[in-house]
Amino acid sequence: MKRLLLGTALALGLAGMASAEGYKIGISNTVQGNGWREEMVCAMKAEALASGKVESLNIAHRNTDAAGQLEDIRNLIQAGVNAIVVNPANADGVNAAIKEATDAGIVVVAVDQAVTEPSAYILSNNQEEYAYIGAKWLFEQMGGKGAVVYMRGAAGAGADNDRDKGFKRAMAEFPEITIAQEVFTGWQQDQGKQQINDIIAAGVPFQGIWTSGIDNVIVDAMVESGAPMVPIVGADNAGFVGQLSSVEGLQGAAVTNPGSVGGAGVALAIQILDGKAPAEKTVLVNPELWDNVSEEGKAKLAAAANPNLSPEWPVSVSIPGWTTYTMDQIIACKGPGE
């Protein structure tokens, strides 16, 4: 995934394009109503404000596909932004607009999911590893055999494709593990809960559940239905982290996937505009696994729990070395001028 570094001279030239008052940064996101994405946008706002270097944010934040995101990015180009931070609909679908932006001297940073356009920088959670370490833990808890409900994200999304690679890599190590049912949640809470309720109602036998970050509502469905509790893997969302310490009989693990990668993407864009481009075009944030069956895992869950956050927000609200905002600033969700 490593790409060649853009020349320092180019980075310095980009920095010179900014107004004397500060940088103008565009944001492009294609999923609304998802707690992870909402935290991501709030992290972007908070980092822009905390930096003291951003004059304004131009935010395109709506439910759309790659075609809609192409339009959004082109609108940001026309708005004259100095940088665009984008969570891409998929790895290839917005490459044309990204190339148009970078050809115009605009810095582009893809966060959360990678793009294949080589002129873009990428700052992403390591999605393949996210799925692999969670699935491996789950299969071990299942004793290396049995059927698992495989609850994926959005079909075609780069993060989902990468996670599928990680999940299948773990399955290859456990030949007696099968998939009871595979569904795409679209990373939507209501949809995911309805899907697991339908699976339970249909009497589909399963011995474990792997979720792509739609997790606390899955635990709720298991409790409400009275179904036998099975090991569950989710993300480090505040609601699920709390459940891992409070729901009787639940064995589970949270895999970190910080929405604050959005704030880190803004920090990277500012760094490049300042003429300090990193040595590599791709930066990956590696995940951790916090389980509630080991003493170490329990301690990490207890330390990470935060009742002040929305249940759908990841508790990893910052990324050391990248984000500089405070907890109050990200919760306030205010950018420059707001």
- Give the residue among 115, 106, 103, 111 at the shortest CA–CA distance from 84: 106
Six-digit token string for 108: 């582009």
Do 31 and 119 reside in the same domain of the chain?
Answer: yes
The SS3 of residue 245 is: helix
Same domain, 84 and 167: no
CA triplet 137, 140, 145: central angle to 5 degrees? 130
Average pLDDT over the chain, rounded to an integer: 92
Whether residue 193 sits in one domain with residue 121? no
Asked if the model's pLDDT at residue 18 lies above 50, the reply is no
Q: CB neighbours of 131 closer than 8 A, spacing ≥ 6?
A: 162, 163, 164, 165, 166, 167, 170, 210, 212
Query: Looking at the structure, do residues 181 and 266 belong to the same domain, yes or no?
Result: no
- pLDDT digits 0-9 by tens, 209-263: 999 999 999 999 999 999 999 999 999 999 999 999 999 999 999 999 999 999 9
Does one domain contain both 117 and 14? yes
- Same domain, residue pair 55 and 88: yes
Three-class secondary structure assignment of 183-243 = EECCCCHHHHHHHHHHHHHCCCCCCEEEECCCCHHHHHHHHHHCCCCCCEEEECEHHHHHH
Instruction: Say if residue 120 is in the same domain as residue 170.
Output: no
Does position 8 have pLDDT exceeding 90, yes or no? no
What residues are paired with 253 via a beta bridge? 233, 291
Question: What residues make up the domain containing 26?
Answer: 8-125+258-286+316-332
The helix or strand, by DSSP H or E, that contains position 148, with its residue range, turns out to be strand 145-152
- Domain of residue 49, CATH code: 3.40.50.2300
34 pLDDT band (50/70/90 cuts)? confident
Helix (H, G, I), strand (E, B), or coil: what is residue 87?
coil
How many domains are there within the chain? Answer: 2
